[in-house]
Structures are given as structure tokens and as C-alpha cells.
Structure 1
Amino acid sequence: METFNEIISGDKPVLVDFYATWCAPCKAMTPIIDNIASEIDGKARILKIDIDKNQSAAANYKVQAVPTFIIFNKGEIVWRHAGAIDKATLLQQLRYFISK
């Protein structure tokens, strides 16, 4: 099984969704994230991290609000956004790093 660090350091960009089960905007983002996952068709990876179950990861990446979205490319943070976001903007950011 791959570790988080192995996944974010891989060849594909990785969108990480830091969320909480009690967070209404996080719940609203779930179908958007699922839709993006089907649209990118394996060209990038998408991970969902529950901040209550993974407090060390949330602290390590200084997640202070949920949802927080971070795109990693070869282990580096290349984009970050806190709060709900529209599908088009999120998909545009992810596609930019897929094309690199």
C-alpha cells in the first residue's frame, strides 16, 4: 500500500481534499470532486483526507479551514485553496498541472 508521501511524490499531479464529515461545504463539494475524478480519467490522482482522523497531516500542511484543496506536483505544493470552489476553477487548476 502506498504512503501519502509516495502518492504526492509520484508522476501524476495529486489533488488532496482536506475535509471533515461535519462540514456542510465539504459535503456540498463531494459530488463536484467525484465528477472531476471521472473527467480527468486517471490523469491525476484525487485523495480525500478527513482532518479529524488525520490531524497530523492537517497540521503538517497548515489546514486551518475545511474544505482545503491542495494540488501537489512531484511532491511540491503547486496550488492551494481554502473553502468551497466551483468545479470549473478547480478542474482548470488541475488540468494545468496535468498538461505540464
Structure 2
Amino acid sequence: MENFNKLISTSTPVLVDFYADWCGPCKAMGPAIQEVGKEVEGKARVVKVNIDKNQAAAMQYNVRAVPTFIIFKQGQQVWRHSGMIDKNTLEKQLLAFA
């Protein structure tokens, strides 16, 4: 949890994808998340957090459904979306905080 808090506390925006291995929509979003990560390299970061392996982070940020996407900047949650979302919208939201 300490590493996670350090990661989201930077001035670089961080998109956190809260997912689960058993989640169909999460698997479907996987390639889009990887593409967003490549597109924003150097401007923002993309991190995947498995809610089954990192329950403390999921509980701290009140993740009740997967996938849930949260953008953090300087440790603050600045944007949130639960459920599937298209790659372009996700990328646009992330770069708005870069």
C-alpha cells in the first residue's frame, strides 16, 4: 500500500485500472488499457491493480465494481469511472490532467 500511495502522489497523472482476473469486461478492456499506456508514455502513467490481490487499495478507494478507473494527481482522485469505457475517452480524460 505504501508503494501505491507513493506512486499516485506524483505530479504526473496516474490512471489506475482496478480489475479482477475473473471479470469479463476487465479482460475486454485490457488491450485498450495497454494502448492508452503507450500513447501517454512520458506524460502520464497507467497502472493495473488487481482487487483480489490488493484489497486494501480497493477498499480505501471504495471500489465496488470492476473495472473501475481512477485518475490520481498528487495523491488526489481527480476523475473516476466504473464500467467499460472507450479508449479515446479514457486517454482524453487522462491527458486533460497532464
| TM superposition score normalised by structure 2 | 0.95
Partner of 2:43: 43
Give the share of equivalent positions with the same residue, in percent.
61
Q: Distance in 1 between matches of 2:71 and 2:11?
A: 13
Q: Secondary structure at the match of 2:47?
A: strand
Q: How many angstroms does 1:11 deviate by? A: 1.9
Q: Which amino acid aligns with 1:46?
A: V
Partner of 1:79: 79
Q: Distance in 1 between matches of 2:96 and 2:14?
A: 12
Partner of 2:17: 17
Q: Gaps (5+ residues) in structure 1?
A: none
Moved over 6 A (4+): none
Q: Distance in 2 between matches of 1:79 and 1:24?
A: 23
Q: Which amino acid aligns with 1:28?
A: A
Q: Gaps (5+ residues) in structure 2?
A: none
Are 1:53 and 2:53 matched, yes or no? yes
Q: Which amino acid aligns with 2:62?
A: K
Bigger shift: residues 24-33 or 41-50 = 41-50
Q: How many angstroms does 1:88 deviate by? A: 1.1
Q: Distance in 1 between matches of 2:83 and 2:62?
A: 14
Q: Distance in 2 between matches of 1:34 and 1:16?
A: 12
Q: How many angstroms does 1:79 deviate by? A: 0.1
Q: Deviations over 1:54-75 (max 9, x none)?
A: 1111011000000000000111
Q: Distance in 2 between matches of 1:46 and 1:35?
A: 10
| TM superposition score normalised by structure 1 | 0.94
